Homo-oligomer: A and B are copies of this chain.
Amino acid sequence: MPVGEAPHGGQGLPYAARVATLSIRDEVPLRLGTVSLAAGDAFPPQLPDLTDVAVKALTTYRAEALQYGPRAGLPELRRWVANYVGADEVRVTPEQVLIVNGAKHGLDLICKLFLDPGDAVLVTSPTYQSALGIFRAYQAEFVRVGQDAEGLDLDDLEDELGRRQRTGRPAPKLLYNVFEFHNPTGVTVSAQRRQRLVELAGRYGFLVVEDDPYRCMRFEGVPVRPVQSWDEQGRVIGLGTFAKIVAPGLRVGWVTATTDVVRRMASVKSDGGSCPLTQRMIFEYCRSGYLEPHVHDLAKTYGEHRDQMLDRLAHDLPEATATRPQGGYYLWVRLAEDVNTEELLPLAARSGVRYLPGSLFYPAAGPVNYLRLAYSFSSPSEIAEGIARLAGAVRELRRSS
């Protein structure tokens, strides 16, 4: 007896009002030989060897690893994270750290705790596409903040906040941003602007969500202290992840916030605790001193990937303008105005290269001639091949239009 696949099955189902506008993107598996410049996956040859820590977790810590874990995370890992972010001058106790199933899960819990339908959320345009999806599921309304080479335009932000206040509109609930190697533009917000943002958040009463996955992936230049390190009023919530420094698949990230926010987030974390096996593996990996040299190697590799991608773009697609980020995983690429990167997508896929069209990163309609290229996953020779195929697809699109 088949379950609900009759012609009328699924019709008339009482979906919630708020998901009516969600778009559903199928996840198409990569064709063999396709070069993926789309997702921020890790470079496969540099995935760490985690067999030893897995065996340790499943033998020495077997009962812990295989039972339900504490909802806020393993105490040792919370302590480790508190120390880790402390090195960047974010002073938190272990009780101010919540372990989550990746940073996206942390953002989802923040929405669950703070957002009511129709609440205003401040974002740059473009911004991280997955964050937009999460906010949309909570029926947030986007308020765009400008950005330039120094990051968030705080004059623009202050104008907007003042305008809302004068016209009696409620203050936005929160501002979301990737401050270090912004996704997708690669921009890093200056120290001065970070401090001013904390001051504005206190004055206008909104929260700042500081998503900081790429901090360690710096190839050059000087890191800027996290926004949260300047916060003394609990206005900043930090999101961190082991996805970019150990492995994406383990699905372990963290939130740093006040003790009260962490307790409330744990109370809406309806997951029976994050996986204690992967938490234990990560803790054992990190405390054994593997992390620092591993991250150092990764940053070196990704720096070379970036250079290769910039080089190949300049050679194969000279009409493109690309950012040159000092770190992170992505280039943000502008093509000629007549090249629509959504129309380009199927041609590129047929040529064997995948990327994300810029339209995904805009909270509302935006320019159509941008795309995001990830240089993390593919090798330098694959990057060369991918960019050549992309250039071919652009030529093909132009010929056909």
Which residues on A are within 8 Å of B, measured CB to CB? 1-6, 8-10, 12-19, 22-27, 29, 39, 41-42, 44, 47-51, 54-55, 58-59, 62-72, 89-93, 96, 101-102, 104-105, 107-108, 112-117, 119, 130, 133-134, 137, 171, 173-174, 205-207, 228-236, 243, 247-251, 256-261, 263-264, 266-268, 270-278
Is A113 touching B25 in the complex (CB atoms < 8 A)? no
Is A92 touching B250 in the complex (CB atoms < 8 A)? no
Decide yes or no: A137 and B54 within 8 Å by CB, A9-B258, A15-B113 being known contacts.
Answer: no
Chain B residue numbers with a CB within 8 Å of A271 are 101-102, 104-105, 108, 251
Is A67 touching B42 in the complex (CB atoms < 8 A)? yes
Is B233 touching A6 in the complex (CB atoms < 8 A)? yes
A-B contact pairs, 26 of them (CB 8 A): A2-B232, A3-B256, A4-B232, A9-B232, A10-B260, A14-B206, A22-B268, A24-B263, A41-B68, A44-B67, A47-B63, A47-B66, A51-B55, A64-B249, A67-B249, A68-B243, A68-B248, A68-B249, A69-B249, A101-B271, A101-B275, A104-B270, A105-B271, A108-B270, A130-B272, A248-B272
Is B272 touching A104 in the complex (CB atoms < 8 A)? yes
Chain B residue numbers with a CB within 8 Å of A258 are 3-5, 9-10
Decide yes or no: A3 and B234 within 8 Å by CB, A55-B54, A114-B15, A137-B268 being known contacts.
Answer: yes
Is B51 touching A248 in the complex (CB atoms < 8 A)? no
Chain B residue numbers with a CB within 8 Å of A268 are 19, 22, 137
Chain B residue numbers with a CB within 8 Å of A16 are 112-116, 119
Instruction: Tell me the complex Cα distance, A25–B26, Å.
Output: 39
Known A-B contacts: A42-B66, A44-B63, A51-B54. Give 4 more (CB < 8 A).
A4-B258, A5-B96, A13-B234, A67-B248
Chain B residue numbers with a CB within 8 Å of A68 are 39, 41, 243, 248-249
CB < 8 Å neighbour of A5 from B48, B171, B206, B259: B259
Instruction: Tell me the complex Cα distance, A300–B63, Å.
Output: 20
Instruction: Tell me the complex Cα distance, A229–B268, Å.
Output: 32
CB < 8 Å neighbour of A248 from B22, B66, B228: B66
Query: How often does this chain occur in the complex, in copies?
Result: 2
Q: Which partner residue on chain B sits nearest A377 by CB separation?
A: B67
Is A116 touching B261 in the complex (CB atoms < 8 A)? no
Is A19 touching B112 in the complex (CB atoms < 8 A)? yes
Chain B residue numbers with a CB within 8 Å of A59 are 51
CB < 8 Å neighbour of A1 from B25, B89, B251: B89
Instruction: Tell me the complex Cα distance, A236–B348, Å.
Output: 40
Decide yes or no: A230 and B1 within 8 Å by CB, A104-B271, A247-B67 being known contacts.
Answer: yes
CB < 8 Å neighbour of A22 from B17, B26, B267: B267
Min CB distance, A256 to chain B, in Å?
A: 7
